[in-house]
Amino acid sequence: MRALVIDDDPTIRLLVTKLLEEGGFAVDTAGTSESGNVLAMVNDYDAIILDLALPDGNGIPLVQALRRKSRATPVLVLTGNTDREAIVMALDAGADDYLTKPIDFDVFKAHVRALVRRGGARRTEQLSAGNLVLNRLTRIALVAGTPLHLTPRELSVLEHFLLHTGEVVARTELLEKVMDMSFDPGTNVVDVNVTRLRKKLAGAGATVVITSRRGIGFVLSATGEDSPAV
């Protein structure tokens, strides 16, 4: 899953990013309405966390612009402004939910989970292939009903593969979209994580296989129930 945090306070951006990453999100951030608007229009997010008071204006026009473009991305307004009129205006503009600062960590995470669940039919809560199932909100992967123990990064890689089952996923795509790292031709972090994920899937008896496409990337596909997953 991927989220966008728009807030001019670097401390809040850092805190919210940490909370979202704990929930399995890859996170982009912006400190102004203008930069946030660019990111929101170009990328496909599962949630947007938006402060109303931004240095270049109120955050409400950003929500309105999203809705005019028929972008259904769920928006959670996170604001220190307790003025009821401002909150009502944000909700009427198309925001889905709001929270006031300071942030209660558990309440924030619960609101984000609810936001993603309400995010529309396109945002599937559960992904599956073969006997493998991943719940994107609880971050639990099951193989034939048995929990598969993965690191947060391995879970994110698996989620991306399941979102693109049967498609070629480039190494650069995993590096930039899943691991939030700039492309470095000398790094092997993608191959290391894919190799570990393969071993864990095979050890658990998952009926999926991750095959390499030399010089391009990887493909995850389901195998027959009696076929080995290697």
pLDDT of 120 reads 45
Residue 163, domain member (yes or no): yes
Domain total in the chain:
2
Same domain, 145 and 215: yes
pLDDT of 181 reads 62
In the DSSP assignment, the letter for residue 207 is S
Residue 228, domain member (yes or no): no
- CATH code (residue 93): 3.40.50.2300
pLDDT of 143 reads 94
Residue 27, domain member (yes or no): yes
Return the C-alpha torsion angle 115, 121, 125, 126, nearest 10: 180
Same domain, 6 and 110: yes
Same domain, 134 and 106: no
Q: What's the domain range around 78?
A: 2-117
Residue 227, domain member (yes or no): no
- Among 117, 135, 166, where does a domain finish? 117
pLDDT of 6 reads 94
- Among 85, 117, 149, where does a domain finish? 117
pLDDT tens digits for the chain (230 residues)? 788 999 999 999 999 999 998 888 888 999 998 999 888 888 878 889 999 888 988 888 888 888 888 777 889 998 876 677 778 888 888 888 888 888 889 999 888 888 887 664 345 678 899 999 998 777 889 999 999 999 888 988 998 899 889 999 998 888 877 876 655 555 688 889 999 999 999 999 999 999 998 878 999 999 854 333 33
Q: Are strands 132-135 and 140-143 parallel, antiparallel or unpaired?
A: antiparallel
3-state SS, 152-198, equals: HHHHHHHHHHHHCCCCEEEHHHHHHHHCCCCCCCCCCHHHHHHHHHH
Q: Are strands 2-6 and 47-50 parallel, antiparallel or unpaired?
A: parallel
Judge residue 150's burial from the number of C-beta atoms within 10 Å of its C-beta, 0-12 exposed, 13-18 middle, 19 or more buried.
Answer: buried
Residue 183, domain member (yes or no): yes
- Among 117, 136, 166, where does a domain finish? 117
In the DSSP assignment, the letter for residue 221 is E
Same domain, 147 and 212: yes
- CATH code (residue 174): 1.10.10.10
Rounded CA separation 78/174 (Å): 29
Residue type, 228: P
